[in-house]
Structure 1
Amino acid sequence: MLASYRRLFALPGTAAFTLAGLLARLSMSMTGVSLVVLLSERRGSYALAGTVSAAGLATGAIGMPLIGRLVDRYGQARVTVPATLYNAVPFAGLLLCVRAGAPDWTLYACWAACAAAPNLGGMARARWAHLYRADPAARHLANSFEQALDELCFMAAPVLAMVLCTTVAPEAGMITAGVIGSAGALLFAAQRRTEPPLAGHPAGARQGSPLRVPGLRVLLLTFLATGVVFGSMELTTVAYADSLGQKPVAGGLLGLVAGGSCVAGLVFGLLRPRRAPGVRFLLGVSAMAVLLLLPLAAGVGGAGLPLLGAALFAAGTGTAPTMVTGMTLIQELMPQRQLNEGMAVAVSGIVVGISAGAALAGAVAEHAGPGAGYWLPAGAAALALLIAVAGRRHLRVPGATAVVRGNSEQPVGATR
């Protein structure tokens, strides 16, 4: 496995931008938990923490595609540096407002203003797509590797945030996230030799919305439902463990979900795709829908935490292939001049879905049995499958090949 992934880093500069991007993404995965702990400790209100967090998610879902459009227009470095420096101002403002006991509305204003965070995961995938534009097998491997890195951040970041917030100070998690996030983004932007060149824009022509591409609309709706899976799974698992008097175990259970996805992503990257990307995506969503029946059965059936943990690990293995193939489809369906914006739109759909899923799961946890919340991720996965099946004709890539054979295969997207 290591030998297969090592070949990705044969090109100069690939390790540097990967490590820098990993720092920034680790920071993004830390901020959610760190913000909740900070506000619950300093303001004594989980409700306030949740609504402030939701305000940031809402503005981030709007700001991310706009930043992606600027990246496509002006380049990664020219947008990432000023966006990172700008974001540091309201981020620091939030910490100062909490420290000074400022009114609650200042917290909403500061966190909502942090909407210019660049999508470093999308930018990294855009670099791989550029570097291996003539090698579909390497692009598949790179997308799988990036998904595994995402899951690694989801596993490690909350643990690191909790350790810092509980052993150092409630502000420690946010401060650490801000420092390493800014440093990682600036270091990423400094890696100019791997930055994709700007695609040409016709003079005087207006750049339309990436949602004009029918395939992206299908992927956006599918990712929105997938986000509901993530958000509802997280809150339901915490509520379920709490109902059994084992709330501290919830972090480990959620780590099993991310662990299953991480392992599946790495293994999936080693497989040679033998079907077109659209077909692989449908198979991935189908597997996700089936595997999410396992935690539902364990939760509703009262199987206990060990069996639930095994079910969550198995369910996690179904998400990575779906996400990897979905990002591959965006790379193939979108014109190069809108690649970053297209990926940012998809990620925004996931973010909105996570927020909605958490809200729905919270309501179910309050009014139903402890395991009933697992109907939500199972139902959302089934909805994602229905959307993908209904829009499958839009997921066909012109000129797609059925089998990838190493480096000799021609690019899957033949018309870019």
Structure 2
Amino acid sequence: MTSPYRAVFTTPGAKAFSAAGLVGRMPLSMLGIGIVTMVSQVTGRYGLAGALSAALALSGAACGPQVSRLVDRYGQRRVLRPVTAVTVAAVAGLLLCVRSGAPDWTLFACVVGAGLTPSMGAMVRARWSEIHRGSPELLHTAYSVESVVDEIVFIVGPILSIGLCTVWFAEAGPLLAACFLGIGVLLLTAQRATEPAPHPHAHLTGGSALRARGMPVLAGVFVGTGTIFGAIDVTTVAFADERGHKALASLVLASYALGSCLAGLVFGLVRPRGTVAGRFRWGITAMAVSMILPLLAGNLVFLALALFVSGTTIAPTMVTAMGLVEQLVPRGRLTEGITWTSTGLAVGVAAGAALAGRLIDARGASAAFAVPAVAAAAAAAVAFLGYRRLRPAPDREETYGDGRDERRGRDGGRGRQDGGRGGTAGQARGAGSREDESVA
């Protein structure tokens, strides 16, 4: 392991909470696809399966920020355990209803309850934000670690969920996803030393984190980014199916995730330069340019290479986006702020899948690659037009006011980190300094 990655894990408990976050994040990629596979196998109704998947996404988009707001207010342990209990019970109810042939409305009721699934990525990033506050270089590397974890989840999760549903029994994928969530939350909330302190009075001022200056711009960009992801998934499957190799679609999509995973590892070693807002703007631009490549694909090999190249723009942009949220929202609303980016992604994924599906039916898979290309261009346009609004929150301006202040923050953070290893500051980070964990 190279030096920057060693450095971020020197804090006691860091490896443990990151590993717990990996386990608890598996439902992110397993639950939706598992529900589709389960319902289509048991009932043969793909329309119902797709509607349930969409209902899960919409419920998660509506409930996720509210759950994270409660976490900011009351703390991770007090909120995550009861919310997860409701989620696991809802998934269990869904499995029983599907198995017993219950009315459709009961399936939707259970799926809405399952939408309470907490954003584990946000919880873990909030802990990183607390541990490495004031040291942007280490936080940058920590966010890169979590971006790689995200890609691992999206490579392994769907294969595991679909495989279990088809090889073992139909309910196996969603069942294992619920087990991962319960275990991950229990492991994470058992680690009190790195849990950020709650902000019980944060709700009295400022309203929702979405009202913070720049957050509507960021949420809009993430809707466009989610549209890219949703359209790429559907169009790639259709593209492979048209060429008689539908089974190879998973490998082609894996190349997309692999490109992002490798880029995230490399990006974590790079010293960040300039302002976070500037890096984010150019990251979105690179993503938009890379979406031209799939439009040129004529076979699966070229498409896999094109998506690998496109994937290399994802992790660096997402890492930078998490750092940007950490600056834009007040400390007492950090978890909620990061969760709003996930909400934007979820809305975009649903829209991208629907738009791509319509275009595939009308003009074929190759034409449908225009959906992610247009979405990427729109996301870049929003980032450029709203660039001036991407400024630090008032309680972050001292550290993040501009590029010079950011560099001063890095230097100061490095000094504090060194001092922390010597004694008092390290103890404070390990046990008491918990103010801002919520970067999802």
Do the structures match in fold with TM over 0.5? yes
1:179 aligns with 2:174: no
Determine if contact 1:84/1:186 at 8 Å carries over to the other structure: no
Matches of residues 265-344 of structure 1 in structure 2 within 5 Å?
265-298=264-297, 302=298, 304-344=299-339
Residue 360 of structure 2 is matched in structure 1 by 365
Residues 15-24 or 28-37, more deviating: 28-37
Residue 63 of structure 1 is matched in structure 2 by 63
Q: TM-score under structure 1 normalisation?
A: 0.94
Amino acid at match of 1:230: F
Amino acid at match of 1:322: T
Residue 213 of structure 2 is matched in structure 1 by 214
Residue 199 of structure 1 is matched in structure 2 by 199
1:400 aligns with 2:395: no
Shift of 1:211: 2.0
Determine if contact 1:284/1:318 at 8 Å carries over to the other structure: yes
Tell me, which stretches of 5 or more residues in structure 2 are unaligned?
415-435
Determine if contact 1:287/1:318 at 8 Å carries over to the other structure: yes
Out of 345, 367, 372, the position equivalent to 1:350 is 345
Determine if contact 2:221/2:382 at 8 Å carries over to the other structure: yes
Task: Tell me the alpha carbon deviations over residues 350-370 of structure 1, each in whole angstroms, 9 at most, x when there is no partner.
Answer: 001001110111111111122
Residue 252 of structure 1 is matched in structure 2 by 251
Matches of residues 15-34 of structure 1 in structure 2 within 5 Å?
15-34=15-34
Residue 234 of structure 1 is matched in structure 2 by 233
Residue 429 of structure 2 is matched in structure 1 by none
Q: C-alpha separation between the residues in 2 aligned to 1:279 and 1:207?
A: 26
Residue 104 of structure 1 is matched in structure 2 by 104
Determine if contact 2:91/2:175 at 8 Å carries over to the other structure: no
Determine if contact 1:28/1:181 at 8 Å carries over to the other structure: no
Q: C-alpha separation between the residues in 2 aligned to 1:246 and 1:76?
A: 45
Shift of 1:318: 1.1
1:123 aligns with 2:118: no
Q: C-alpha separation between the residues in 2 aligned to 1:114 and 1:293?
A: 37
Q: 1:211 to 1:35 in 2, by over 3 A?
A: same
- SS of 1:314's equivalent in the other structure is helix
Residue 164 of structure 1 is matched in structure 2 by 164
Determine if contact 1:137/1:405 at 8 Å carries over to the other structure: no
Determine if contact 2:4/2:138 at 8 Å carries over to the other structure: no
Question: How many aligned positions are there?
Answer: 407
Determine if contact 1:162/1:173 at 8 Å carries over to the other structure: yes
- SS of 2:369's equivalent in the other structure is helix
Q: 1:406 to 1:260 in 2, by over 3 A?
A: farther
Task: Tell me the alpha carbon deviations over residues 344-396 of structure 1, each in whole angstroms, 9 at most, x when there is no partner.
Answer: 11110100100111011111111112201110101100000000000000113
Q: 1:81 to 1:297 in 2, by over 3 A?
A: same
Q: C-alpha separation between the residues in 2 aligned to 1:272 and 1:12?
A: 24
Q: C-alpha separation between the residues in 2 aligned to 1:115 and 1:395?
A: 30
Determine if contact 2:327/2:391 at 8 Å carries over to the other structure: no
Determine if contact 1:155/1:258 at 8 Å carries over to the other structure: yes
Amino acid at match of 2:92: A
Q: C-alpha separation between the residues in 2 aligned to 1:319 and 1:313?
A: 10
Q: C-alpha separation between the residues in 1 aligned to 2:116 and 2:159?
A: 26
Q: C-alpha separation between the residues in 1 aligned to 2:261 and 2:99?
A: 37
Task: Tell me the alpha carbon deviations over residues 94-138 of structure 1, each in whole angstroms, 9 at most, x when there is no partner.
Answer: 000011011112111111121221111011111000000021100
Q: 1:205 to 1:105 in 2, by over 3 A?
A: closer
Determine if contact 2:217/2:386 at 8 Å carries over to the other structure: yes
Determine if contact 1:236/1:373 at 8 Å carries over to the other structure: yes
Aligned-pair RMSD on alpha carbons?
1.7
Matches of residues 86-105 of structure 1 in structure 2 within 5 Å?
86-105=86-105
Amino acid at match of 1:237: T
- SS of 1:193's equivalent in the other structure is coil
Q: C-alpha separation between the residues in 2 aligned to 1:34 and 1:329?
A: 33
Percent identical: 46
Q: C-alpha separation between the residues in 2 aligned to 1:78 and 1:200?
A: 12
Amino acid at match of 1:141: T
Q: 1:405 to 1:158 in 2, by over 3 A?
A: farther
- SS of 1:170's equivalent in the other structure is coil
